[in-house]
Chain A
Amino acid sequence: MLRFLASMILLAGIAVGATANDEPRLFSAEDVFELEWADEPQISPDGEQAIYVRRSNDIMSDRTVSRIWIVDRDGGGHEPLLAENGSYRSPRWSPDGTRIAYMKSLSGRTGLYVHYLESGRDALLGTFEEAPSDLIWSPDGAMLAFSMAVKAESEKLVSAPKAPEGAEWAEAPRVIDRARYRTNSDGFIDLAYDHIFIMPAEGGTPRQLTSGDFNSSGSLSFTPDGEQILFSANRQDGWELQSREANIFAIDVASGELSQLTDRPGVEASPQVSPDGRFVAYLGTSNEREPFMPTNVFVMERDGSNIRNLTEGLDRRAGDLQWLSRREIAYTFQNRGENNIGVVTTSGDRRVAVQGIGGTTIGRPYVSGAFDAGEGGALVYTKGSAYRPADLFSFQSGRNRQLTTLNEDLLAHRDLGDVRSFTYNSSLDGLEIQGWMITPPGYRQGETYPLIIEIHGGPHLAYGPHFSDELQRMAAAGYVVIYDNHRGSIGYGSDFANLLKYKYSSPDDFADHMSAVDWAIDNGFADEDNLFIAGGSAGGIATAYAIGLTNRFNAAMAAKPVINWVSKVLTADSYIGQIANQFPGPPWEHLDHYWERSPISLVGNVDTPTMLITGEVDYRTPISETEQFYQALQLRGIPSVMVRIPDTNHGIAGRPSLLNAKTDYTLAWFGKYRVGQEEEE
C-alpha cells in the first residue's frame, strides 16, 4: 500500500513536471517561438569557414526569420554575419572567398546584395519586383547570374472603358487563358516566364540571356572559362501540358546563342559542369507514367556526348548534385527515413559519405536536410536528431564535427517523448513496414496510453526519426504517437513506392496504418479504446479514407485532404502531372476509378467525429475539397468542425502561431472524444 502510494507520487512528479520548478519541463506551444535551426550551408572556397542561414521564430512578427551566420571549420568564431532587419537567403561565396552575394527581402521587395568580408560593407546591386533565384558567381568573380520571372502580356480580350477621374470602380475582370495558371504559393499567377540574367558583381544593369515563352530556370552552372551557362528547361511546343520533360541547354554569355545538349525523353535537370570543364553531371528521370520514378546521376561530355548513368541500381531519387572533386560527384538520396550524402565517381563507384543529414523541417518528422561541397572533398551539412532541429556539421578528412548547438538553451530543459523505430508486417500481404513511436514524457512501461497515428503527406514522401514540433506536443499531451512509412513512401525503392500505383487512397495503405496501430496495441503501448487518427495532405486523404473503412478511431483530424479526385485534379495547381502520372487517364474517361480512390465515396460509412483544417487559399488541395467532406458529414449528422485558416495556402503551419494552432485544435478535438481521461489541472 505504501509502495503504491509512493509510486503514485512519483508519477505525479513526472507527469506534472514543473509545478514546483520555475520552468515547465513539458514541451509546449510557447516553446515554438524559441526553436531555431540551420539551413542553406555554404563552405568557403578555402574550406576554412562556413556560412549558413539561421532560422528562428520571431514572436513579434509571428514569422520565421532568416539571418546569415558564419563559423570556423572547428566550430569557433560563431557569429552573426548578416543579421539586420529583413529576411536573408541564398548566400553564395565569391570564388576568391572575399565576398558573399545574397538576397534580402524587406517589406515585400527583394534586393540582391554583395557583402565585402574585409570591410564588412554591403553593396545593393538591385531591387527586383520578382525575386531572383538560382544565384551563382562566374568563375572569375566578375559576374553574377540568376533567374527571374519576366512578365509577359496575355492577348487582351477587351479594352475597358475609362473611369472618370476620382471614380471608384470595381476591379476589372481577370482573364486567364493558360493551362498553368495558378500555384499553391502564389494563387492565380500573372503570365510570366523565368529567364536567365547576368550582371556585373560590382553593380550595373542586368542583361537577359534567354527569351521565349518558356521557363528557363533551375540550377545554373558556368563553364570554367565563364563563356557559357548550362541550365535545364522544357522548350518544346506544348510544354505546358507536359509534366516530365526537360533538356539541358547551354547559352553563350557573350552572344546569347543557345545550344541543346540533351534530347532524351524525360527530365534532364540540374546540370553541373565538372571543375575541369570536361564533364557535365546532371540528374535524369525517365518519363514513364509511374507515380514514382527514380532519379539517377548521369554524366556526359561537355558537348553532350557519351551519356552514362552513374547510379544504375541505386533505385532512389538522387538530388542536390554537386561536384566534390574533378572526378567525384556528391548528391543526396533518401533511405529508410534518412537523407544521406552519397558520392559517385565518374567511373560509377558509389559510397555514402554522410548518413542522416536533415533537421530543416520542424513541424513534422519529414526527411530533409541540405549540404554544400567544397574543394578538396570537404562538406558542410545540416543535421538534427529525433530530439533536435538542425545544427550545422562539417565533414572533413573523414571526420564529422558538430559546429553549432542552436537549441540546447531550450530543449536541454525539456522532457521530450522518446522516439523509437520499429518494423512490422502489414496485414494485407505481410510486407515489412518501418514505423516510429513517440512515447509520452514520463512514459511507464506496462501502462497503455491513448494513441494518435499521424500519416505523412505525398504520399510519395517519407517520415523518419527527426524532430517534430507537432508530434512532440501530442506526446506532451499524454499520447503515444506513431507514424509509419507505409507502402508508397520513398526511401525503400521503386517497387515499394509504386505499390500505390492507381491505389491512393485504398484498403492497401489503410492496412499498413491499421497494422501499425495493432502493433502498438499488441505490444502494450496503446489503449485500444482511445485511438485517434490524423494526417495532412495525402495524410489527410488517408485519414478521411480510413474513417470510411473503420469505426475504430474515437476521432479524426484530416488537414488539407483530397476528398474527391475528380474535382481535385481539375482545380489544383498540380493537375497536369497528377492526371498523367497517378491516374489511368482523365476523370471523364475513368470516373469509377477516380471515385473509388476518393474518400467521398465512403462518407456514407463514417461514424467518426472529424475535424478538418485547411488554408483558405490552398491551391494544392483546394478548400473546396474540405468543404465537400464537411458538408457531407454535416448532412449525415456526424460531429464535425471545419477550421479555416485565413490567407493561408497548403503550408498551413507556415507561421509559428499557426503551427501552434494546428496542434492546439487537434488536441482539443481529440480531447473531446478521449474516454476515461482524468480532469486535467
Chain B
Amino acid sequence: MLKSLFIAASVLSLIATPPLFAQAQPNSAAKASDQIGPNRTFTGQDLFDLAFATDPQISPDGDTIAYVRRQNDIMTDRAVNSIWLIDVESGEQRPFAGRNGGAFSPRWSPDGSRVAYVSTEGGSAQLWVKWLDGGEAVKLTGLPNSPSGVTWSPDGRSIAYTMLVKDDAPSLGSAPKNRPDGAEWADALEITDLVNFRADGEGELTPGFEKIFVVPATGGAPRQLTFGKYHDGGRLSWSSDGSTIYFSANRNPDWQTDPVEGDVWALDITSLSLTRLTTRDGPDFGAQVSPDGRRIAYLGFDDEGRAYENTELYIMDADGQNQRILTADWDFSVDGFGWDSDSRGIYVQYDERGETNIARIALNGSVRAVTDGVSGSGLDRPYTGGSFSVASDDTIAFTGGTATRPPEVKVSTGDEARYLTNLSASLMTTKSLGEVRAISVASSFDGQEVQGWLTLPPGYREGARVPLILEIHGGPFAAYGPHFSTDNQLYAAAGYAVLSANPRGSTSYGEGFAQEIDKAYPSQDYDDLMSIVDRVVELGVADPDRLFVTGGSGGGVLTSWIVGKTNRFRAAATQKPVINWTTQALTADGTGYFGQYWVGSRPWENPQKFWEQSPLSLIGSVETPTLVVVGSEDYRTPVSEAVQYYSALQLAGVPTALVRVPGASHALTARPSQSAAKASAILAWFERYAKGWEPSDPDADRD
C-alpha cells in the first residue's frame, strides 16, 4: 500500500471505501436543443455520463455477482455508488441497493443467502444486510463512524468490522469563565500532539483509533473487541471455527514514527487476548485463513529502507508457525489475493508491463496464468488496477476494460473471460475515441527498454504530425497501461497525441526497474521520458515543434524537473507537484515517510541531498511557460509546494498561472466538473503558448 502513497488517493479508496457519499439521482444528461445530431467528439460534458464497475463480489456458489456501479451524476457533480446483482449464467442484471443513498462494499454471507453492505441511506454510513430471497434490507447498526472491513463469521451469525473510536483531543489551559450566555466567541483553538495529525482526503484527523467490532448478523449491540492506542484495521479474517479473528496492525511503541511496519495478529474473540504472529521488520498485512482453516496467507515485505519493494505473498500455519514466502522467484508485486477453495493455491492480482492479470500460485510456488485484461483504477488516467473475487467453483469475477472501454464486470470460468456488463455502451457507440497504440524505446541512458502507450487523436491520419502531450504518471511507483483515461481522451479530442509512458521507477517491470530511482528521484527517469518522446517524433507522429508536458503528483515532480532540464517543450502543466523535498518531508501526511524512505535521511541531516532532488533547485533554468495546478485541500503534496513553484516562476519572469481546485484533495478529479475544467485549463494553457513566447521585458535578468 505504501508504494502507492503518492498516486491519487481515489485509486486506493475506490476499491476499499469510496469517499464520496451522495444521494442517488436519475441520470439526466444535458442536451443542447440546437444540436442536430450526435456529437462524436468526447468532451468534458461527457464525463457526467460515465459509469464503471468496481468491487465485484461473486457468491460462494459462483452463480451471482454483486458489484458496485459508480455513476457520475450531473446534478450533484459526484460519482454515486449503487450495488447491482448479475446472474452469471444469463448475464441478467438487477439493482440491489443504493436507491436512497450510496451503497458499497457488498459481502456475501457464507451460505450465499444474504449480502452485507454499507449504505448511507438515511444519512450516515451504516452496516446493512439484505436477504436475497426477496427479504427486506435491514440496517444493523447505528454507528457514530463509518464501518470498514466488513467480514462475515464462518457460521453466518456475526459480522466483524472496523471503526474509528474517537479519543479526546489534548487540552491545555482553560477558557475564561466569564463567557455570557449567547456570546459569539471565536472558535476555540485546535491543538494536536499526534505525529500524523492529518491525512489527504480527510483533513485534520479526528483523534481516535481504528478498532475491531463484531455485531450479530440479525442485529443487536455491537461489541468492541480490541482496545488500546493503536490502529487495528485492514482486512479481517475469521478462523474456520469462528473463535479467532486475524488482522494486521502496528502495535509497536514507535508506531507513529515507523510508517513501514505492521504485523498479523490473532484475536481470541472470547478472551480478547491478542497473539502476534509475525515479527519481522516490515509490514505484514491482508491475512486470510485458508478454506480448510489450516493456513494463513498474507502479504508483506522486508523493510530495507527503500522507496519501493515488491509486495510478496507468504503463508504460515494458523498458529503462526512455518512462515514462508511463495513468490521469492516471481518478480511481481501482489496487489490482492483470494484462496482457491481447495486450499492448495491462491489467486493473486498483479501488474505486468502495464497490464493487470490474475494468476494462481500453488503452495509449492508454481504459478499458472488465469486471466488478463483486468482494469479499474479510476477513470481520469490510465493507471493499472482493478479488483476480483473467486467462488468455490473457481469462477472469477473481476473488473476489466480496455484502453477505450471503462471497467466493466467480467467473469472467467477457466476459458475465455467474458463481459457481463455494458455500462459504457452509449459512450462506445456515439463517441469516436482516440486509438491507443503500444510503443517502446531503448533508453538513451543505458538502453533499458521503456514502454509507453500513444493515444492518437480520433480520426488520426497515418503520417500526419500532430502536437504531442507527454502525460507522466504519479507514484512514481505505479504504472500506466492500456486502460481507459478521460484525460487522455479529452486531450486527444482536442487534436493532440498523448504519450503515457513507464520510465524507470514504474512498477510492473520487476523490482529492480522500480528501485532504479531509489534515493535518486528524479534521475534517469528523465532520460527515459525524453527517449520515448524522441521515439514518437521518429515514428512521424509528434511534431517536434509542438511538444507539451504535464503530469500529476510524481508526474508533477517530473514535469517540473523536465522544464528545469530542457526547453524543448512549448508549455507545461505541473499538477500537484513536490517542488522542495524538505518541505514535502515535513508538511505532507505520512510524517516520517518521504524523508527517510525516498531521500534517505531527515532534512536537517542532509539538506543538500534534499535540495538536489528538488525541482526548485532548477528554477533558474526554466524558460517553459508552466501552469501549476493543485487541490486546495491537498495534504499529500500540500498546496505550499505548488505555491513555492508558482512564486519562484513569477520571480524568474517565466509565464505561469496557479490553478487552485476548491475543496479538492490529492484526488484532484473526484468531481466531474472539476475534472473537466482541469483538462480544459491545461489545454487552454498549451494553446496559449503553442507558438512560443518572448519575455515582455527584454531587460529582465534571465539566465
Chain A contacts to B: CB under 8 angstroms: 28-30, 32-33, 59-62, 157-158, 160-164, 166-179, 181, 188, 237-238, 241, 564, 566-567, 569-571, 575-576, 579, 586-589, 591, 595, 600-604, 613, 622, 624, 627-632, 634-635, 637, 640-648, 655, 657-658, 660-661, 664-665, 667-669
Contact = CB atoms under 8 A, between A and B. Distances in A.
B173 interface: yes
A664 B647 CA distance: 37
Contacts of B605: 604
A57 to B, nearest CB: 11
Contacts, number: 253
Given A170-B662, A576-B651, A175 B184 contact: no
Given A160-B673, A624-B587, A634-B195, A571 B644 contact: yes
B425 interface: no
Contacts of B691: none
B586 A657 contact: no
Contacts of A178: 650
Nearest to A622: B640
Interface in B173-220: 173-180, 182-195, 197, 204
B178 A161 contact: no
Contacts of A661: 173, 175, 188-189
* Interface-centre pick from B604, B643, B664, B678 (highest chain A CB count, 10 A): B604
A238 B660 CA distance: 25
A573 B461 CA distance: 50
8 closest cross-chain pairs (CB), A and B: A668-B173, A664-B173, A171-B662, A628-B586, A170-B671, A624-B640, A570-B644, A177-B657
Nearest to A634: B195
Contacts of B651: 179, 241, 575-576, 579, 586
B587 A161 contact: no
B12 interface: no
* Interface-centre pick from B173, B603, B662 (highest chain A CB count, 10 A): B173
Contacts of B28: 164
A339 B326 CA distance: 78
Contacts of A604: 602, 604-605
B378 interface: no
Contact of B677 (A172, A179, A648): A172
B172 interface: yes
B132 interface: no
B74 interface: yes
27 contacts: A30-B177, A60-B182, A162-B30, A163-B74, A170-B671, A171-B663, A172-B677, A173-B681, A176-B646, A176-B657, A176-B658, A177-B657, A178-B650, A179-B647, A570-B645, A588-B618, A588-B648, A591-B617, A600-B586, A627-B586, A627-B587, A641-B170, A642-B192, A642-B193, A643-B190, A657-B186, A661-B173
A575 B611 CA distance: 20
**Which DSSP category, helix, strand, loop or mixed, fits chain A's interface?**
mixed
Interface string B143-187: 000000000000000000000000000101111111110111111
Contacts of B583: 564, 566-567, 624, 628
Given A167-B76, A171-B662, A627-B587, A61 B184 contact: yes
Contacts of A170: 77, 662-664, 671, 673-674
A164 B592 contact: no
B602 A238 contact: no
Given A59-B180, A655-B186, A657-B176, 15 more contacts: A167-B74, A170-B671, A176-B657, A179-B651, A566-B616, A567-B583, A569-B647, A624-B583, A628-B586, A632-B603, A632-B604, A642-B191, A646-B190, A657-B185, A665-B173
* Interface-centre pick from B638, B647, B657, B661 (highest chain A CB count, 10 A): B647
B178 A30 contact: yes
B419 interface: no
Contact of A664 (B175, B643, B684): B175
Contact of B602 (A28, A635, A645): A635
Contact of A157 (B602, B638, B656, B657): B657
Contacts of A624: 583, 587, 638, 640
A173 B674 contact: yes
Given A179-B650, A188-B660, A602-B604, A164 B186 contact: no
B668 to A, nearest CB: 10
A646 B191 CA distance: 11
A459 to B, nearest CB: 22
A161 B680 CA distance: 10
B620 A157 contact: no
Contacts of A177: 656-658
B496 to A, nearest CB: 16
A158 B190 contact: no
Contacts of A163: 74, 77, 673
Interface of B: 28, 30, 43-45, 74-77, 170, 172-180, 182-195, 197, 204, 256-257, 580, 582-583, 585-587, 591-592, 602-605, 607, 611, 616-620, 629, 638, 640, 643-648, 650-652, 656-664, 671, 673-674, 676-678, 680-681, 683-685, 688, 697
Given A160-B673, A624-B640, A167 B75 contact: yes
Given A172-B677, A641-B172, A665-B189, A570 B648 contact: yes
* Interface-centre pick from A602, A613, A635 (highest chain B CB count, 10 A): A635
Contact of B183 (A62, A158, A569, A634): A62
Nearest to A624: B640
Contacts of B188: 661
B425 to A, nearest CB: 23
Given A62-B183, A158-B680, A632-B586, A173 B659 contact: yes
B135 to A, nearest CB: 35
A600 B681 contact: no
A622 to B, nearest CB: 6
* Interface-centre pick from A170, A630, A646, A667 (highest chain B CB count, 10 A): A170
B195 A176 contact: no
Nearest to A646: B187
Given A166-B75, A588-B617, A33 B186 contact: no
Nearest to A666: B173
A75 to B, nearest CB: 32
A589 B256 CA distance: 36
Nearest to A174: B660
A284 B160 CA distance: 74
B442 to A, nearest CB: 34
Given A566-B582, A640-B193, A643-B191, A59 B178 contact: yes
B684 A158 contact: yes
Contacts of A586: 619-620, 648, 651-652
Contacts of B644: 566-567, 570-571
A3 B220 CA distance: 72
Contact of B647 (A571, A589, A629, A660): A571
Contacts of B683: 158
A571 B643 contact: yes
Given A173-B662, A176-B660, A588-B616, A157 B191 contact: no
A602 to B, nearest CB: 7
A230 to B, nearest CB: 29
Contacts of A595: 607
Given A595-B607, A635-B257, A665 B191 contact: yes
B187 A667 contact: no
Nearest to A626: B587
A59 B684 CA distance: 52
A161 B45 contact: yes
A604 B595 CA distance: 14
B581 to A, nearest CB: 11
A288 to B, nearest CB: 18
B686 to A, nearest CB: 11
* Interface-centre pick from B74, B180, B189, B646 (highest chain A CB count, 10 A): B189
Contacts of B607: 591, 595, 601
A631 B673 contact: no
Given A169-B673, A238-B697, A655-B186, A632 B602 contact: yes
